[in-house]
Amino acid sequence: MGGAIRLLDVRDGVLSSDEVLAAVADPTAGGTVLFIGTVRNHDQEKPVDRLSYEAHPDALKHLQTVAERVCEDTAVTALAAVHRTGDLKIGDAAVIVAVAASHRDAAFAACRRLIDDLKAEVPIWKHQHFSDGASEWVGAH
């Protein structure tokens, strides 16, 4: 890594917003945007009890590609993204991304693109377990 990309990881373990924010701290940044995706207790009006994430072995390589493209296409000073795998409970952080830029507009736009492209392109799959005993896989590209 290096340049604007400061932290990228796909890991089985608790995620830290402090770690992600520290990774993008930069004296040239006038704006920093942090997004934390958490496990919610419902999906499409069905109660969710828990979920788990599984990642393809190349998920980190895909995340690197997404991050590089965001950095190339936007005025990013620093970028970080971590996604969790394994079993998660309601309220747990599943993904944390942050972007720092000289100006807030660029930081907001780049952060939005980072999380949207990560969700669309990085092969990480969510297995939701509903209160009624049913389950479903989400995001299986």
**pLDDT tens digits along 53-79:** 999 999 999 999 999 999 999 999 999
pLDDT above 70: residue 2: no
Check residue 54 and give its pLDDT. 97
Residue with the two structure tokens 């919610």: 40
The HSE-up count of residue 10 (CA atoms within 13 Å, CB side) is 20
Give the predicted TM-score (pTM) of the model: 0.95
**28/95 Cα distance (integer angstroms):** 25
Indicate the average pLDDT of the chain.
Answer: 95
Domain boundaries, the chain: 5-136
pLDDT above 70: residue 140: no
pLDDT digits over 3-23, tens only? 899 999 999 999 999 999 999
Exposed e or buried b per residue across 91-107, where buried means at least 16 C-beta atoms within 10 angstroms of its C-beta: ebbbbbbbbbbeeeebb
- pLDDT level of residue 139 (50, 70, 90 thresholds): confident
pLDDT above 60: residue 122: yes
Percent residues over pLDDT 90 in the chain:
94
pLDDT digits over 79-100, tens only? 999 999 999 999 999 999 999 9
**48/57 Cα distance (integer angstroms):** 27
Q: Which residues pair with 89 in a beta bridge?
A: 50
Residue with the two structure tokens 């393809």: 56
5-11 and 78-84 strand pairing: parallel
Check residue 1 and give its pLDDT. 64
Residue 4 φ then ψ, to 5°: -75, -25
End-to-end alpha carbon distance in the chain: 26
Domain boundaries 5-136, corresponding CATH code? 3.90.1170.40
